[in-house]
């Protein structure tokens, strides 16, 4: 059977278009950058376009030559600083125009859940996040 491989950039550009038209989009994220709040291969997210973004929001953004689903760490004037909840140091900067949508719902085990607020406690735990993530990943891999 022949397979058609569509580059992520094409799909993500279409997602941005749909969001810009006011439609909600369901996406199955890959990668571990949003652990423990969004699990790859197990959770899906619903995105919608919002007028503005605020610190703590989880957004879908075009950052340079790639697309990410990360949390807003800081939003001032036109500059937005992003960091994945599962990342320890890496941050990205973009403009508000680069934010294509905001995560409004996380679907886990078929149940719709609201996004985990602004994750204030998680952000405060950044100095010890390395250890918490290591424990979580062990538990996650073992299926506990």
Residue 2 within any structural domain of the chain:
no
Nearest CA-CA partner of 69 in 19, 112, 5: 19
| pLDDT at 142 (0 to 100) | 65
Dist CA 9 CA 1 (whole Å): 24
| CATH number of the domain where residue 75 is located | 2.10.109.10
Dist CA 123 CA 110 (whole Å): 27
User: pLDDT by residue (tens digit) across 56-71?
Assistant: 999 999 998 889 999 9
Residue 143 within any structural domain of the chain:
no
- Quote the pTM value: 0.86
Which stretches in the chain have pLDDT values below 70?
A: 1, 116-118, 140, 142-144
| pLDDT at 110 (0 to 100) | 87
* Total number of domains constituting the chain: 1
94 touches 62 (CB < 8 A)? yes
Which range marks the domain in which residue 49 is found? 8-138
Return the half-sphere exposure (C-beta side, CA atoms, 13 A cut-off) of residue 100. 24
Q: What are phi and psi of 9, to 5 degrees?
A: -60, -35
Dist CA 83 CA 137 (whole Å): 18
Residue owning tokens 């950052």: 63
Residue 81 within any structural domain of the chain:
yes
Residue 72 within any structural domain of the chain:
yes
Residue 55 within any structural domain of the chain:
yes
């Amino acid at each position: 059977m022949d397979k058609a491989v569509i580059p992520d950039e094409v799909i993500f550009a279409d997602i941005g278009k749909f969001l810009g038209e006011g439609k909600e989009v369901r996406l199955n994220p890959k990668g571990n950058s949003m652990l423990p709040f969004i699990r790859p291969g197990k959770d899906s997210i619903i995105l919608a376009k919002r007028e503005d973004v605020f610190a703590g929001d989880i957004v879908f953004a075009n950052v340079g030559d790639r697309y990410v689903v990360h949390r807003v760490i800081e939003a001032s004037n036109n500059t937005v600083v992003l960091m994945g909840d599962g990342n320890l140091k890496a941050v990205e900067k973009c403009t508000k125009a680069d934010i294509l949508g905001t995560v409004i719902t996380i679907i886990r085990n078929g149940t719709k859940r609201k996004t985990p607020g602004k994750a204030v406690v998680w952000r405060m735990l950044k100095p010890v996040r390395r250890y918490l993530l290591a424990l979580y990943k062990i538990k996650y891999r073992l299926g506990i």
